[in-house]
């Protein structure tokens, strides 16, 4: 009986322990519910605790439809001042962690401009948090190797609104996960972590991933704007266990699903936040299909512009040494673009198409060294750990200095000023101050400091010392006289004694030592106490000294702050007239500055629906385009400033950069970067054609650039933006003839979720989507229509509307081109100025253009599909170009006439042509 009972007890204990282990979250997890009030455990088993040790900032409760998770219903926000606000977390040195910060705005401050602020990891700028939707959670993740026992995560004002934070999550890794040779100099900033073939939209995370990484489902397009999925792509899944116990240990659940390319290819295009940059990029594979005895699955990665990478062949089962086992090839250091297109293509001898379970791309983020005086100030603040001023956390100077510190503007800043007046300091003057070699000003007045004045000869730059109103005793050290730059020394009202060193008296210096009962002037030892030196020369010296110090001071204190916070009178005026902060999002140009830059609107460079555009040059030499809006463009100032703050949030290399605005004297003005090569229209038809015009490949590149800009408006902005007025005069060319789209954003935003917005029809005849014109229902397909017209113009060199060119009864390029293309007569529409082109690429674009100008929006392709086609055409054209140039390699044989072959002649099909030396860029198989 006894043994049975004991066994039973042991068994129960065992079960209990097991249960306990399954409930308890991983050690090394910290989940902070910012603004929360008590501990709780969420539905997935994470233990959240409030950030109530954070004494700064304020708490807000928010409510957002469909977001019931408790940690997101509260947040903590901070003033938008010059300070930074830091969370300090304990970590274990030499251990790797994931840190995740999330932000759900929820309109907590009812401001009509979304916040935009900075987050930093210690001294390193981590990211700018840009809120673009009140109900969407923004998230940033960083993988790091801890080098100290604590880390600081700090928020600070960047542009608009108040910095805030919803959660801060720290997750500890195991063993050598994410080990890399760059980890001492770089963090890994998580850009994409995608679970392919996911069974639902929900991300996979804890407890499926014991480290609580978040694996986005590939069916949620918004995550990385995953598009361009190849035909024949199928999702597959298994319930078999997968051996994932190596490398980065992706969760089993993620590895149990995959996509396969039944037609031989897997293709994807996705956005990588923070890129172009160097990144860490790995794919996760496990064979989860049953292959027949004669089946093989071999494939290669194809990255445009990175043909070297395509040499290595993946054979999952062989590489992983078995089925249902992880194989994780990848690159530790790969340059990747913002928009990444990649393809896995089967090798010619493989029977099965490629398979992909998951992938992860992280950006290298260089660690900042931090400011020069970190150890010294750490020792100081440690000694006063309970004082509020000692708890600001993070680096003393970076990215914003502590409130009582000023720093130099060097790349590695040092401390130039300390202001601790009236902070209740007691005990001796901390020796740390004497170690700040860059110190210029020291304010320790109005404290209870006692003991002697230490030796400050380690601070040769000291100019101003305020030690008055303390309880310092002992001598006034003669070493002070040796400080070459000392101009002001205040030691009045202390308990100093002895003689004032003659060196100090002889020095050109403001010195106040009144109120020290036992301190007397040197030399004659007379009864004169309370003397200011040079009393005979008297006021004059004092005056000069004061003046000099006033002139010198700003120089000494020259920190980055100064320029940043210079308020311009006019912008203050504007803010007060608007009465809100909307305008702060964008840079304000005073009218006088614009008048100077444009020499009073001297040179007109264009005009359009919104107004007239002038050339300008700012004082710093930057060239600008100044658009003076026609007066009735905006009904109210409020509307104007809202539009402007929206504009300032749209950034893409293929969109003309918005620099700022001005609204004075009844003028509403927008300032853009100046585009040196004018509009596409001018190059196609205008004076800039130089007889010959731009060649076909250049036209294709311009089309690609413009389409990418449009794609960004459609898919990269939330809510998405419909341009509404695309035309060749709105496509501008920079110095290098790269194209950017202009005149975007000054229109109603597309309503998220709904498929159209109804508004008064706007657009330009010839480019206007007929469906939109009739129904007045605007969709992104209206832009696709206009873009189709632009493609036809690029092919033909004809204007969209013309009275002469198109022959009888036809004034419209669409009708005319359609007629020719559909009857197979493409030659009849090709611009006679074009000579070297490949007819196949011309066909591709012509056919796509016709798709774009279909009568019904639903039949038109998305702009992303159009980009794909343009890129294919460019590939064909480049191949053909090589051939024309007479190089006789493998490609040229295929090219000149039947470039159809070229389309399929990618790096996969022709192995012999590729495999020169596999070893050079073999992926790191771990």
Of 513 and 615, the one with the shorter C-beta distance to ligand NAG is 513
| Binding-site member from 59, 137, 505, 618 for ligand NAG (CB under 6 A) | 59
Q: Is 231 in the site for ligand NAG (CB under 6 A)?
A: yes
Are the C-beta atoms of residues 178 and 248 closer than 8 Å to each other?
yes
Residues 6+ apart with CB under 8 A from 377: 396, 405, 415, 432
Q: Is 210 in the site for ligand NAG (CB under 6 A)?
A: yes
Residues 532 to 591 in contact with ligand NAG, rule: CB under 6 A: 532, 564
Q: How far is the CB of 213 from ligand NAG (least distance, A)?
A: 11
Q: Is 915 in the site for ligand NAG (CB under 6 A)?
A: no
Are the C-beta atoms of residues 550 and 608 closer than 8 Å to each other?
no
DSSP per-residue letters across 484-516:
TT--EEE--SSEEEEEE-HHHHHSS-EEE-TT-
In three-state form (DSSP H/G/I as H, E/B as E, the rest C), the secondary structure along 550-570 is: HHHHHHHCCCHHHHHCCCCHH
Q: Is 60 in the site for ligand NAG (CB under 6 A)?
A: yes
| Binding-site member from 150, 263, 485, 572 for ligand NAG (CB under 6 A) | 263
| Binding-site member from 189, 267, 347, 512 for ligand NAG (CB under 6 A) | 512
Of 231 and 886, the one with the shorter C-beta distance to ligand NAG is 231
Q: Choosing from 469, 725, 743, 780, which is the catalytic residue? A: 725
Distance CA 202, CA 216 (A): 7
**Given the rule CB under 6 A, which of 75-83, 145-153, 196-204, 356-364 is the region that contacts ligand NAG?**
75-83
Q: How far is the CB of 119 from ligand NAG (least distance, A)?
A: 14
Q: Is 22 in the site for ligand NAG (CB under 6 A)?
A: no
Residues 6+ apart with CB under 8 A from 3: none
Is 831 in the active site? no
Q: Which of 454, 461, 407 is nearest to 439 (CA)?
A: 461
Residues 6+ apart with CB under 8 A from 250: 209, 215, 244, 284, 326, 328, 357, 358, 360
Of 59 and 618, the one with the shorter C-beta distance to ligand NAG is 59
Distance CA 232, CA 237 (A): 16
Q: Which three-class secondary structure state does DSSP give residue 715?
A: helix
| Binding-site member from 15, 18, 45, 61 for ligand NAG (CB under 6 A) | 61
Of 1 and 21, the one with the shorter C-beta distance to ligand NAG is 21
Distance CA 4, CA 647 (A): 76
Using alpha carbons, list the distances in angstroms from residue 736 to 678, 701, 732.
12, 12, 11
Q: Is 492 in the site for ligand NAG (CB under 6 A)?
A: yes
Q: How far is the CB of 625 from ligand NAG (least distance, A)?
A: 24
Of 47 and 777, the one with the shorter C-beta distance to ligand NAG is 47
Q: How far is the CB of 567 from ligand NAG (least distance, A)?
A: 8
Q: Is 779 in the site for ligand NAG (CB under 6 A)?
A: no
Of 34 and 733, the one with the shorter C-beta distance to ligand NAG is 34
DSSP per-residue letters across 242-254:
-B--STT---HHH
Of 359 and 511, the one with the shorter C-beta distance to ligand NAG is 511
**Given the rule CB under 6 A, which of 54-62, 432-440, 672-680, 898-906 is the region that contacts ligand NAG?**
54-62
Is there a binding annotation on residue 627?
yes
DSSP per-residue letters across 865-893:
HHHHHHHHHHHHHHHHHHHHTT--SHHHH
Q: Is 185 in the site for ligand NAG (CB under 6 A)?
A: no
Q: Which of 667, 542, 541, 546 is nearest to 601 (CA)?
A: 667
Q: Is 208 in the site for ligand NAG (CB under 6 A)?
A: no
| Binding-site member from 27, 175, 579, 691 for ligand NAG (CB under 6 A) | 175
Q: Is 232 in the site for ligand NAG (CB under 6 A)?
A: yes
Q: How far is the CB of 918 from ligand NAG (least distance, A)?
A: 29
Distance CA 447, CA 858 (A): 75
Q: Which three-class secondary structure state does DSSP give residue 591?
A: helix
Residues 6+ apart with CB under 8 A from 154: 84, 85, 86, 87, 119, 120, 122, 393, 394, 399, 400
| Binding-site member from 157, 347, 470, 840 for ligand NAG (CB under 6 A) | 157
Q: Is 65 in the site for ligand NAG (CB under 6 A)?
A: yes
Are the C-beta atoms of residues 105 and 114 closer than 8 Å to each other?
yes
- Binding site members for ATP: 627
Residues forming the site for ligand NAG (CB under 6 A): 39, 47, 49, 59-61, 65-66, 80-82, 157, 159, 174-175, 210, 231-232, 262-263, 492-493, 512, 514-515, 532, 564
Residues with a catalytic annotation lie at: 725
């Amino acid at each position: 009986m006894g043994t049975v009972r004991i066994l039973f007890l042991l068994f129960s204990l065992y079960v209990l322990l097991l249960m306990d282990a399954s409930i308890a979250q991983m050690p090394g997890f910290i989940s902070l519910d910012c603004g929360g009030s008590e501990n709780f455990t969420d539905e997935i088993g994470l233990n959240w605790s409030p950030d109530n040790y954070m004494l700064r900032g304020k708490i807000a409760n928010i409510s957002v439809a469909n977001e019931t998770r408790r940690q997101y219903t509260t947040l903590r926000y901070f003033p938008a001042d010059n300070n930074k606000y830091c969370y300090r977390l304990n970590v274990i040195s030499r251990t790797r962690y994931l840190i995740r910060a999330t932000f759900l705005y929820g309109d907590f401050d009812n401001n009509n401009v979304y916040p935009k602020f900075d987050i930093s990891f210690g001294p390193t700028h981590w990211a700018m948090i840009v809120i673009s939707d009140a109900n969407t959670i923004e998230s940033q993740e960083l993988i790091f190797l801890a080098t100290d026992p604590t880390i600081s995560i700090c928020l600070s004002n960047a542009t608009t609104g108040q910095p805030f934070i919803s959660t801060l999550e720290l997750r500890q890794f195991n063993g050598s996960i994410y080990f890399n040779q760059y980890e001492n100099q770089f963090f890994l900033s998580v850009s994409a972590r995608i679970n392919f073939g996911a069974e639902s939209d929900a991300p996979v995370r804890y407890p499926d991933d014991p480290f609580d990484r978040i694996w986005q489902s590939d069916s949620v397009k918004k995550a990385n704007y995953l598009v361009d999925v190849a035909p024949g792509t199928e999702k597959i899944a298994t319930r078999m266990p997968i051996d994932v116990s190596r490398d980065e240990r992706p969760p089993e659940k993620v590895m149990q699903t995959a996509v396969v390319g039944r037609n031989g290819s897997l293709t994807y295009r996705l956005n990588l936040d923070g890129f172009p940059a160097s990144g860490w990029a790995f794919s996760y594979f496990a064979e989860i299909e049953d292959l027949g005895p004669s089946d093989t699955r071999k494939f290669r990665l194809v990255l445009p512009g990175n043909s070297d990478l395509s040499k290595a062949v993946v054979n999952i089962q062989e590489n992983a040494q078995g089925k249902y086992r992880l194989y994780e090839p990848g690159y530790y250091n790969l340059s990747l673009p913002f928009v990444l297109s990649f393809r896995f293509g089967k090798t010619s001898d493989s029977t099965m198409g490629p398979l992909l379970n998951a992938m992860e791309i992280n950006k290298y983020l260089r660690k900042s060294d931090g400011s020069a005086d970190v150890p010294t100030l750490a020792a100081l603040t440690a000694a006063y750990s309970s004082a509020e001023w000692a708890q600001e956390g993070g680096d003393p100077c970076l990215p914003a200095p502590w409130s009582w510190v000023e720093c130099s503007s060097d790349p590695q800043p040092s401390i130039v000023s300390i202001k601790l007046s009236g902070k209740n300091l007691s005990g001796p003057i901390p020796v740390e101050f004497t170690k700040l070699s860059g110190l210029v000003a020291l304010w320790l007045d109005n404290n209870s400091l006692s003991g002697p004045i230490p030796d400050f000869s380690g601070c040769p730059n000291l100019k101003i010392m305020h030690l008055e109103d303390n309880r310092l005793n002992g001598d006034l050290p003669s070493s002070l006289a040796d400080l070459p730059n000392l101009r002001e020394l205040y030691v009045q009202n202390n308990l100093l004694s002895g003689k004032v060193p003659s060196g100090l008296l002889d020095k050109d210096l403001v010195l106040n030592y009144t109120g020290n009962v036992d301190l007397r002037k040197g030399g004659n030892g007379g009864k004169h106490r309370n003397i200011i030196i040079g009393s005979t020369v008297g006021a004059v010296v004092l005056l000069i000294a004061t003046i000099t110090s006033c002139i010198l001071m700003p120089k000494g204190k020259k920190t980055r702050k100064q320029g940043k916070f210079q308020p311009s009178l006019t912008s203050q005026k504007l803010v007060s007239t608007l009465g809100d902060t909307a305008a702060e999002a964008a840079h304000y140009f005073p009218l006088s500055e614009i008048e100077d830059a444009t020499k009073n609107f001297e040179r007109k460079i264009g005009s359009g629906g919104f107004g007239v555009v002038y050339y300008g040059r700012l004082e710093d030499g930057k060239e600008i385009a100044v658009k003076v809006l026609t007066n009735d463009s905006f009904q109210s100032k409020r509307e104007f400033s809202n539009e402007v703050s929206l504009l300032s949030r749209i950034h893409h290399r293929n969109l003309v950069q918005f620099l700022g605005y001005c609204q004075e004297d009844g003028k509403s003005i927008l300032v853009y970067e100046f585009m040196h090569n004018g509009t596409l229209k001018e190059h196609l038809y205008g004076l800039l054609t130089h007889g010959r015009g731009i060649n076909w490949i250049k036209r294709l590149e311009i089309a690609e650039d413009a389409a990418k800009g449009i794609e960004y408006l459609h898919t990269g902005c939330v809510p998405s933006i419909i341009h509404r007025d695309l035309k060749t005069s709105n496509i501008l060319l920079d110095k290098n003839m790269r194209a950017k789209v202009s005149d975007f954003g000054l229109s109603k935003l597309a309503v998220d979720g709904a498929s159209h917005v109804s508004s008064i029809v706007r657009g330009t005849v010839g480019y206007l989507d007929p469906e939109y014109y009739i129904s007045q229902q605007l969709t992104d397909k209206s832009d696709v229509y206009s873009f189709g017209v632009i493609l036809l113009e690029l092919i033909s060199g004809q204007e969209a509307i013309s009275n002469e060119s198109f022959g009888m009864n036809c004034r419209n390029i669409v009708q005319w081109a359609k007629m020719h293309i559909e009857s197979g007569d493409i030659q009849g529409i090709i611009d006679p100025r074009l000579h070297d082109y490949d007819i196949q690429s011309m066909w591709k674009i012509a056919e796509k253009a016709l798709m774009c100008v279909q009568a019904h929006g639903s039949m038109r392709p998305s702009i992303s599909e159009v980009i794909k086609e343009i890129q294919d055409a460019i590939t064909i054209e480049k191949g053909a170009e090589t051939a024309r140039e007479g190089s006789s390699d493998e490609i040229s044989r295929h090219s000149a006439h039947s470039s159809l072959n070229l389309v399929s002649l990618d790096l996969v099909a022709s192995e012999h042509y590729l495999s020169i030396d596999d070893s050079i860029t073999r992926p790191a198989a771990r």
